[in-house]
Amino acid sequence: MNTPGLTRRAPLSEIAHGRSGDKGNHANVAILADTDAGYEWLKEHLTIEVVAGYFAPLGASKVERFEAANVRGLNFMLYDALAGGASQSLRSDTQGKTFALALLRMEVELPAELRGRTTHESSDR
């Protein structure tokens, strides 16, 4: 049984899924919540500052966030994060295809009562 107010450490993928790709030298990362409650949590906690900090080693010059409530999603643009883009970069992921997966692996503090599609109601953490 979960007690309201308690949190648990879990990957972001417990409450969301994502997709990413390139826009030239910029990476586009969409994170979509599995539930309305998850979307509300994302809007409050998955901020520009959090995402910019997480991807800081890539040297993005700017990060912007756009809300897409109709799909319970947040879309992040990471400007200049692809080291020149697909035709110039020597990085292993020149098109930003793995950025969403990387962000979904980020460990976050989730409310114990917040459940996503991958968590079973019978498990307590």
Give dist(CA 110, CA 7) in Å, integer.
5
**Is residue 118, in this structure, part of any structural domain at all?**
no
Question: How high is the pLDDT of residue 23?
Answer: 73
pLDDT at 107 over 80: yes
Task: Give the domain extent around 58.
Answer: 10-109
**Is residue 46, in this structure, part of any structural domain at all?**
yes
Q: Using one digit for the tens of pLDDT, what is the confidence trace for 27-81? A: 889 999 999 999 999 999 999 999 999 999 988 999 999 999 999 999 999 998 8
What are the backbone angles phi and psi of residue 75, rounded to the nearest 5°?
-115, 125
| pLDDT band with cut points at 50, 70 and 90 for residue 123 | very low
Give dist(CA 109, CA 116) in Å, integer.
14
**Is residue 3, in this structure, part of any structural domain at all?**
no
Query: Contact 38/113 with Cβ under 8 angstroms?
Result: no
Tell me the HSE value of 125 on the side-chain side, using a 13 A CA sphere: 16
Domain total for the chain? 1
**Is residue 72, in this structure, part of any structural domain at all?**
yes
**Is residue 64, in this structure, part of any structural domain at all?**
yes
pTM value is: 0.79
